[in-house]
């Protein structure tokens, strides 16, 4: 059974579950959903906005003094300068609008610049990944640990493939080639939040990506760490929320995966 949850984690899980009700209905009626473009191959739906509103209303009712950083609405400064929620209403919107059942609600709590709690909820299969500092990482009520694999050739890794208008395609292809040559495979599922949750659950042995936003990765950072994993920028620094560069893996493979990618980045 899961450890005793803090009040904040209980609030976060409640907010994610509440927002998921309409989200699942929207997913079932995806052909009727209004979709807009924020940029090249970057979409926002009515469901993104509605889900974010429900999350904001639920969390602000419970913690009216906390601030927010949200994908669609940006920054809302709270009365408490040391605490804010970081929210992605649908991480994996492109999957969502194509009817692919792999997307998640992501909520993190940042306190004095550090992520102290995180929830990643995959509503279609009712997978609630959550963690808070010092209390471990959990999938619903089961404790999670990163994988125990020790060799790259037995391991699979996840990443995000750049698309039109985003990222350095040539450099990424070199990274892919380098990891391909050393591993049992690479996966690209289209949700950085769930990629990190899968690393925490031991499903993936590692994950890397660049050009991510804070709301893509904030919850995943604490979940990976509390599951016993290592997570940083690709070059080992700890400015992930600022730079959008991320490398996560079990402790045994972390250095080797990072070096494999860094050899290309340099």
The reply to whether 102 and 156 lie within a common domain is: no
The reply to whether 157 and 130 lie within a common domain is: no
* Mean pLDDT confidence for 41-55: 80
Distance, in Å, from the CA atom of 245 to the CA atom of 136, rounded to the nearest integer, reads 24
The reply to whether 139 and 169 lie within a common domain is: no
pLDDT over threshold 60, residue 38: no
Is position 1 within any domain?
A: no
What secondary structure letter does DSSP report for 3? P
Range of the domain at 222: 152-265
Question: Pick from 101, 124, 143: which residue ends a domain?
Answer: 143
Q: What is the pLDDT of residues 99-146, one digit of tens each?
A: 999 999 999 999 999 999 999 999 999 999 999 999 999 999 999 999
CB 116 within 8 A of CB 110: yes
CB 105 within 8 A of CB 120: yes
The reply to whether 73 and 92 lie within a common domain is: yes
Q: Among candidates 127, 259, 264, which has minimal Cα distance to 191? A: 127
Tokens of 132: 């808070």
Q: What is the DSSP string of 164-224?
A: TTSS-HHHHHHHHHHHHTTSSEEE--S-HHHHHHHHHTTSSSEEEESS--HHHHHHHHHHH
Share of the chain above pLDDT 90, in %: 74
Model confidence band, residue 40 (pLDDT cutoffs 50, 70, 90)? very low
The reply to whether 15 and 135 lie within a common domain is: yes
pTM: 0.92
Q: Among candidates 85, 110, 118, which has minimal Cα distance to 229? A: 118
Is position 90 within any domain?
A: yes
Question: Pick from 112, 143, 174: which residue ends a domain?
Answer: 143
pLDDT over threshold 80, residue 81: yes
The reply to whether 46 and 172 lie within a common domain is: no
* 260 φ, ψ (degrees, to nearest 5): -60, -40
**CATH (domain of 226):** 3.40.190.80
The reply to whether 139 and 160 lie within a common domain is: no
Distance, in Å, from the CA atom of 133 to the CA atom of 181, rounded to the nearest integer, reads 36
Distance, in Å, from the CA atom of 250 to the CA atom of 180, rounded to the nearest integer, reads 18
CB 192 within 8 A of CB 216: yes
10-34 per-residue burial string, b: 16 or more CB within 10 A, e: under 16: ebbbebbbebbeebeebbeeeeeee
The pLDDT of residue 41 is 41
The reply to whether 20 and 83 lie within a common domain is: yes
Say how far residue 214 (Cα) sits from the centre of its chain.
Answer: 9
Q: What is the pLDDT of residues 230-251, one digit of tens each?
A: 999 999 999 999 999 999 999 9
The reply to whether 169 and 51 lie within a common domain is: no
pLDDT over threshold 70, residue 66: yes
Is position 190 within any domain?
A: yes
Please count the structural domains in the chain: 2
The reply to whether 113 and 36 lie within a common domain is: yes
Residue predicted with more confidence, 180 or 246: 246
Model confidence band, residue 163 (pLDDT cutoffs 50, 70, 90)? low
Give 98-102's long-range contacts (Cβ < 8 A, gap of 24+). Answer: 99/27, 99/30, 100/190, 101/27, 101/125, 102/189, 102/190, 102/191, 102/194
Q: Containing H/E element for 105?
A: strand 104-111
The pLDDT of residue 47 is 87
Q: How far is CA 142 from CA 80, 115, 128, 129, 130, in A?
A: 33, 22, 10, 10, 10
Question: Pick from 80, 111, 143: which residue ends a domain?
Answer: 143
The pLDDT of residue 92 is 94
**CATH (domain of 69):** 3.30.540.10
Is position 133 within any domain?
A: yes
The reply to whether 226 and 179 lie within a common domain is: yes
Residue ranges in the chain assigned as alpha helix (H) = 7-28, 46-62, 93-97, 169-180, 192-200, 214-226, 240-243, 251-265
Is position 2 within any domain?
A: no
Length of the chain: 266
The reply to whether 32 and 139 lie within a common domain is: yes
Is position 39 within any domain?
A: yes
Is position 239 within any domain?
A: yes
């Amino acid at each position: 059974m899961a450890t005793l949850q803090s009040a904040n984690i209980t609030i976060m899980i409640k907010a994610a579950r509440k927002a998921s009700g309409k989200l699942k209905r929207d997913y079932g009626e995806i052909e009727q959903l209004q979709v807009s473009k924020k940029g090249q191959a970057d979409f926002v739906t009515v469901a993104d906005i509605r889900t974010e509103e429900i999350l904001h209303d639920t969390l602000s009712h419970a913690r009216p003094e906390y601030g927010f950083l949200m994908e669609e609405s940006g920054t809302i400064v709270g009365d408490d300068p040391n605490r804010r929620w970081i929210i992605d209403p649908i991480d994996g919107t492109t999957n969502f609008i194509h009817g692919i059942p792999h997307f998640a609600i992501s909520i993190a709590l940042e306190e004095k610049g550090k992520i102290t709690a995180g929830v990643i909820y995959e509503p279609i299969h009712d997978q609630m990944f959550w963690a808070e500092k010092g209390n471990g990482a959990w999938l619903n009520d089961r404790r999670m640990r990163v994988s125990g694999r020790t060799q790259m050739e037995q391991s699979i890794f996840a990443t995000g493939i750049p698309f039109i208008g985003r990222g350095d395609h040539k450099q990424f292809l070199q990274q892919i080639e380098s990891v391909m040559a050393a591993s049992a495979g690479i996966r690209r599922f289209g949700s950085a939040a769930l990629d990190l949750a899968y690393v925490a659950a031991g499903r993936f042995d590692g994950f890397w990506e660049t050009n991510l936003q804070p709301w893509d990765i904030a919850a995943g950072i604490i979940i990976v760490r509390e599951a016993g994993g290592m997570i940083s920028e690709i070059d080992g620094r700890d400015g992930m929320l600022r730079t959008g560069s991320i490398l996560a893996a079990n402790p045994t493979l972390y250095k080797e995966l990072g070096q494999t990618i860094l050899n290309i980045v340099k």
